[in-house]
């Protein structure tokens, strides 16, 4: 099948960038991204592409090139589904907050709603692609819904998980390590796989496009994120031991990273991982293992999450202890709120939970992040439902300048590894702070020797 029209349901961190790159690389294909969120679609269509809702280096340029040519953003979901030959489902799959599997299983209600909408609207054969991260055998449920509509339309379900790292999503899309496509082993399934292969082949080398059965594809995504998160929790576990023994975790990580069997990536000790994928996907993996009675497997992977939560609590506790066991009414400046640099995504950011701990201790939090709004900061804290929104507003203030955020502060917590933080005039920051002035480097990005020579009391991770 020659593909000329693609629809993506969901204009978020996966759907928006992925479809923008497909549109740029496939000018012969009309790509329509649909979402019921009118505000989000309006932002994607903003005349000033710098105002698009997702910040990723290079993304605004790609959107500017393709938008209006063959890339469209719309709230008209039915029209896009009706016209498309391939429909990507890229909606949110959060961890369940209710019922069976609460706190672990993926909430698939949005996936089912998409499937039912496609089934209702489709008048001709469609290829439906799982782009959201889903539990193993979700495709089976989607296919059951689609195949029992009674309208005679034939559907093929493919799994095409994303392997994007936020902050480098555009680079990851333009030069992927691999493109994974899982589908049915039938003749029709293989034809559907080939149709999607042909789309990616417009810019991705054939040896980087891997095809599997649909179940292997679904599980590979969960496994990849679990392995990456495991490395972070492993080095963070060693960071605590380093602090007790006098070793330096950065030196240890460098030493083991030079082993070709281990490699240097994801060995940076920090305050912990965040983002929408790692925790959600590992909890999903734990739930799947438990559902099959594999309790030892579940316990193994759950420990990755336990270690990550411990690292965040350990960091906030260390701040309180170092600040003479009280932070009540003290101003603590947070440099960074996003879960990592080069993104405005704050989901599961360590900063949220550390701020929550410190507010419980009556601290005053001053936040500076170059890409996160004050409204988002407060919304993240309100979402925890730990206290009233009025209390959060009273204890947290966002600033448009790092120097203003740090003025008169007792301590600074570096919670996102933005490059700009390294280049600040730290002497100026020190001069404007309460003395003694503390820096808690939760990302191990600052020069300890230089800061201590100015007069800061420096506390890093694992050193």
Of 109, 80, 106, 108, whose CA–CA distance to 11 is shortest?
80
Burial readout 159-187 (b: 16 or more C-beta within 10 A, e: otherwise): bbbbbbebbbbbebbeebeebbbbbbeee
439 in a known ligand binding site: no
270 in a known ligand binding site: yes
249 in a known ligand binding site: no
126 in a known ligand binding site: no
460 in a known ligand binding site: no
Catalytic site includes residue 26? no
15 in a known ligand binding site: yes
The phi, psi pair for 266, rounded to 5°, reads 60, 35
170 in a known ligand binding site: no
The phi, psi pair for 334, rounded to 5°, reads -100, 115
Alpha-carbon distances, residue 185 vs 128, 153, 182, 221 (angstroms): 16, 19, 9, 20
**What does the DSSP assignment read for 363-393?**
PEEEEE-TT--HHHHHHHHHHHTSS-HHHHH
Q: Note if the bond before 436 is cis, omega within 30 degrees.
A: yes
132 in a known ligand binding site: yes
320 in a known ligand binding site: no
456 in a known ligand binding site: no
51 in a known ligand binding site: no
115 in a known ligand binding site: no
425-430 CB contacts, 8 Å cutoff, 24+ apart: 426/450, 426/451, 426/454, 426/456, 427/454, 428/403, 429/402, 429/403, 430/454, 430/455, 430/456
61 in a known ligand binding site: no
End-to-end CA distance of the chain: 58
Residue 376 near residue 367, CB atoms below 8 Å: no
Residue 390 near residue 357, CB atoms below 8 Å: no
User: For residues 48 and 59, what is the distance between their CA atoms, to the nearest angstrom?
Assistant: 13
Candidates 7, 8, 114, 277; catalytic one: 277
208 in a known ligand binding site: no
Q: Which residues are annotated as a binding site?
A: 10-15, 35, 40, 91-95, 132-133, 162-166, 221-225, 261, 268-274, 277-280, 339-340, 347, 443
Q: Which residues are annotated as a binding site for substrate?
A: 162-166, 221-225, 261, 268-274, 339-340, 443
Report, as residue numbers or ranges, the catalytic residues: 277
Q: Which residues are annotated as a binding site for NAD(+)?
A: 10-15, 35, 40, 91-95, 132-133, 166, 277-280, 347
């Amino acid at each position: 099948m020659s593909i000329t029209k693609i629809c993506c349901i969901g204009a978020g961190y996966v759907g928006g960038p992925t479809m923008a790159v497909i549109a740029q690389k496939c000018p012969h294909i009309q790509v329509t991204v649909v979402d019921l969120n009118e505000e989000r679609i309006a932002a994607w269509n903003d005349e000033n592409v710098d105002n698009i809702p997702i910040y990723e280096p290079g993304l605004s340029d790609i959107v500017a090139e393709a938008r209006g040519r063959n890339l469209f953003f719309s709230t008209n979901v039915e029209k896009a589904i009706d016209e498309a030959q391939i429909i990507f489902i890229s909606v949110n799959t959060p961890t369940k907050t209710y019922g069976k599997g609460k706190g672990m299983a993926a909430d698939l209600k949005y996936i089912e709603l998409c499937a039912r909408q496609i089934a209702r609207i489709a008048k001709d054969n469609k290829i439906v692609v799982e782009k959201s991260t889903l539990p193993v055998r979700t495709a089976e449920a989607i296919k059951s819904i689609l195949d029992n509509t009674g309208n005679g339309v034939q559907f093929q379900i493919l799994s095409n998980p994303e392997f994007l790292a936020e902050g480098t999503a555009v680079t990851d899309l333009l030069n992927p390590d691999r493109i994974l496509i899982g589908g049915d082993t039938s003749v029709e399934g293989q034809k559907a796989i080939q149709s999607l292969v042909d789309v990616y082949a417009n810019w991705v080398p054939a040896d980087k496009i891997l095809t599997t059965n649909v179940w292997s594809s679904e599980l590979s995504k969960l496994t990849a994120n679990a392995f990456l998160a495991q490395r972070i929790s492993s080095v963070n576990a060693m960071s605590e031991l380093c602090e007790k023994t006098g070793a330096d975790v950065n030196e240890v990580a460098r030493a083991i990273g030079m082993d070709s069997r281990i490699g240097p990536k994801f060995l940076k000790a920090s305050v912990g991982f965040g983002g929408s994928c790692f925790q959600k996907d590992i909890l999903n993996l734990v739930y799947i293992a438990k559902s099959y009675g594999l309790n030892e497997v579940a316990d193994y992977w759950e420990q990755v999450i336990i270690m990550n939560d411990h690292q965040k609590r350990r960091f906030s506790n260390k701040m309180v202890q170092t600040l003479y066991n009280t932070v009540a009414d003290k101003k603590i400046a947070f440099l960074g709120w996003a879960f990592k640099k080069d993104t405005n995504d704050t989901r599961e950011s360590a900063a949220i939970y550390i701020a929550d701990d410190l507010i419980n201790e009556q601290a005053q939090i001053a936040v500076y992040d170059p890409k996160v709004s004050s409204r988002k900061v407060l919304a993240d804290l309100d979402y925890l439902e730990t206290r009233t929104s009025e209390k959060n507003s009273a204890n947290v203030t966002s600033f448009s300048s790092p120097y203003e955020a740090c003025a008169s502060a007792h301590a600074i917590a570096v919670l996102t590894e933005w490059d700009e933080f390294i280049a600040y005039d730290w002497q100026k920051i020190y001069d404007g702070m309460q003395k003694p002035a503390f820096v808690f480097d939760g990302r191990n990005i600052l020069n300890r020797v230089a800061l201590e020579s100015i007069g800061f009391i420096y506390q890093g991770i694992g050193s």
